[in-house]
Amino acid sequence: DVKVTQSSRYLVKRTGEKVFLECVQDMDHENMFWYRQDPGLGLRLIYFSYDVKMKEKGDIPEGYSVSREKKERFSLILESASTNQTSMYLCASSFSSYGYTFGSGTRLTVV
């Protein structure tokens, strides 16, 4: 089975800190995605990548950036964390048109 691993399950950061969320997948998938999940809002796409060094903005990219230097790793960066970025962050990967495989999520609290 494909495994998508997110480095942290829980994180607490201070307002203004730069935050790195890491995601690694082990099945050579081309496509990787970052979503945030909030109650009543479902999953909203932040950024995605179809290839190494390639990135595309999703629906809510403001305040975030990403990095994909290697095919298996897709990092989400909060340039200056704010309290409204407190959320569950989900990483996913996929091959071509198939369904996504999700990681367990990182619950980020910004205080």
- The residues of the shown chain that bind another protein, judged by CB under 8 A, are 33, 35, 40-45, 48, 58, 90, 92, 97, 99-105
Q: Please report how close the Cβ of residue 15 comes to another protein at its closest, in angstroms.
A: 27
CB contact burial 43-69 (16+ within 10 A = b; e otherwise): bebbbbbeeeeebeebeeeeebebbbe
Residue closer to another protein (CB basis): 10 or 14: 10
Q: Please report how close the Cβ of residue 45 comes to another protein at its closest, in angstroms.
A: 6
